[in-house]
Amino acid sequence: MDREQPPLRFSDLPSCTDPGAIPLRGSREFELLLGEYCPWRKVRPIARNLGLKPESAWAMVKGSRLFGWRSLEILQADSSSFCVCLGPHALEPLHRIDRATGGGGPAILAPETGDLGDESMRLRLRFKSLMDEAAESSLIEGAATTRKEAVELLRSGREPATTGERMVVNNFVAMQRIKNRLDHALSLEMLIELQTILTRGTLTKPDEAGRLRRPDEDVRVVDDLGEAIFTPPTAADLPQRLESLCRFANTDHSRGPDFLHPIVKACILHFMIGYEHPFCDGNGRTARAVFYWFALRSGYDIFEYTAISELIRKGYARYPQAFLDSELDEGDLTYFVLYHLDIIEQSLDRLAERLRHEQAKIQRSRAFLRVAKNINLRQRLLLEHALRHPLTHYTVKSHANSNGIVLATSRADLDELVRLRLMVTTKKGKQVLYLAAPGLDARLNKKPRR
């Protein structure tokens, strides 16, 4: 991971207010260097390939950012302000995200998607995404399980048997909790509550849950070789710094000269929890939960259907590097914001793919309407799954968890399928198991009675 400090800061640039005075402005070299929002580690090789001195190229790049540069109310450890550059690099992806989400609401779940507009289908999709996010966020932090096993654990509703499984369940509970906190302001108490939920039963030192780290605790971020890449602000300053962060989160930036796009602000909050590192453990999971809390609180309901942690995990090297790029370059949070916006766009693409998949399942399940006119969408999808996985056992709890419904509704769904002779029951101890009836395929394809 590249940790070289950039060679100059804004204060080192020649005094100049005329954009045309920036060296090489408008040239091919200038366009190549500004093709993306490059940190110093990327400017160096680009400049050498163009036959430019890296230091001169960096001065050109920094100078081009002066006019979009904005100081924020939150401070770095050295008391200088964090900043963000809200130029085209940020505005273009924000525009695409707003279009995909209808400016906040779930426009991607448009009426033309048929049954996907049904509330029971939306509830099913929300719970599937919630389980995926809980599983993936735990895997990022080293939970010893697989994604498939983690999702099955949540679907079955069984008690976790290992620390890794407990992490998954904790994440699931925390993600549900933030939905109940959308009308609350961010506070130190809320942060501690989230960290307590996320780390319950998973810490080697249980007393580290539910409190801030202490000055005598050496908390650092290390790389794969164990080398420290980041030391957070001193623990003694945490109460004051977190109070300032909560004030920033709760300030209305939705209009006027202080306008800050809600998704940019959500990304900044994600970064800042990681930067402050207020706890001995659970900081990353808390940071991602706060991102979701703020995005949902700001009306971006679409994030109930996305799982950003899967994409963070699969390209994990970019995650700590985005933090590091921002820390090295004068607290320029643009690097982390752009990384996060890219993750969001990818998650929306994944959601669109999932919706196409769900639509195909719904189309296949429509054939089941020939069996019982009043069969509901949840039952149709369960039968469609049972046809493809005939040995699967279902329970009242697993059906409820898969669809986000109460146990009574789940039991009614399953018992109705038994009454229609499409499923049968067996027992495992005291637990009732439901499975596909013998000859289910033939039953579903017979001609309906007149």
Q: Which residue has the higher pLDDT, 69 or 30?
A: 69
> How does residue 370 score in pLDDT terms, banded at 50, 70 and 90?
low
Q: Pick the range with the lowest mean pLDDT from 84-93, 192-201, 235-244.
A: 84-93
Stretch among 261-265, 345-349, 432-436, 442-446 having the lowest mean pLDDT: 442-446
Lowest mean pLDDT among 33-42, 119-128, 222-231: 222-231
Arithmetic mean of pLDDT, 67-92: 92
* Selected residue with higher pLDDT from 1 and 375: 375
User: CB–CB of 381/375 below 8 Å?
Assistant: no
pLDDT in the model for residue 20: 44
Q: What pLDDT shows up at residue 225?
A: 62
Confidence (pLDDT) at 374: 78
pLDDT of residue 366 exceeding 60: yes
Q: Which of 43-57, 95-109, 151-165, 246-260 is predicted most confidently? A: 246-260
Flag whether pLDDT at 417 surpasses 60. Answer: yes
pTM given for the model: 0.85
Q: What is the mean pLDDT of residues 339-345?
A: 96
Q: What is the pLDDT of residue 450?
A: 43
Q: Are 170 and 204 in contact (CB under 8 A)?
A: no
Helix segments in 277-428, DSSP class H: 283-297, 308-314, 318-328, 334-365, 377-388, 396-403, 407-419
Supply the pLDDT for residue 19.
44
The dihedrals phi and psi of 89, each to the nearest 5 degrees, come to -60, -35
Asked which of 9-18, 37-46, 335-344, 375-384 is least confident by mean pLDDT, the reply is 9-18
pLDDT > 70 fraction of the chain, expressed in percent and rounded? 88
Q: Check for a shared fold between 72-354 and 371-445.
A: no
Q: What is the DSSP letter of 226?
A: S
Task: Check pLDDT > 80 for residue 228.
Answer: no
Q: Is a pLDDT exceeding 90 seen at residue 358?
A: no
Residues 332-351 have a mean pLDDT of: 94
Averaged over 229-234, what is the pLDDT? 84
**Residue 294 Cα distances to 131, 181, 183, 351, angstroms:** 19, 10, 10, 20
Dihedral angle at the C-alpha atoms of 260, 93, 229, 278, nearest 10 degrees?
A: 40
What's the pLDDT band for 362 if we cut at 50, 70, 90? confident
Beta strands 221-222 and 228-230: pairing type? Answer: antiparallel
pLDDT of 87 strictly over 60: yes
Q: What is the mean pLDDT of residues 3-8?
A: 84
pLDDT band at 244 (very low <50, low <70, confident <90, very high): very high
DSSP classification of residue 252? -
Query: Does 294 score more than 50 pLDDT?
Result: yes
* CATH assignment, 72-354: 1.10.3290.10
pLDDT tens sequence across 418-431:
998 899 999 988 88
Which CATH number among 3.40.50.10680, 1.20.120.1200, 1.10.10.10, 1.10.530.10 corresponds to the domain 371-445? 1.10.10.10
Residue 281: its pLDDT value, please? 93
Confidence (pLDDT) at 66: 84
Neighbours of 206 (CB within 10 A): 11
Looking at 18-22, 210-214, 284-288, 301-305, which range is the least confident one?
18-22
Range 257-270 average pLDDT:
95
- Please state the domain extents for the chain: 10-64, 72-354, 371-445
Per the prediction, the chain carries an average pLDDT of 86
pLDDT given at position 397: 92
Which residue has better confidence, 111 or 380? Answer: 380
**For residue 145, what pLDDT is reported?**
82
- 389 or 321, higher pLDDT: 321
In 3-state terms the chain splits into helix, strand, coil percentages (rounded to 5) of 60, 5, 35
pLDDT at 22 over 70: no
Give the pLDDT confidence of 403-414 residue by residue, as tens digits: 888 999 999 999
Model confidence band, residue 17 (pLDDT cutoffs 50, 70, 90): very low
CA max distance for the chain? 87
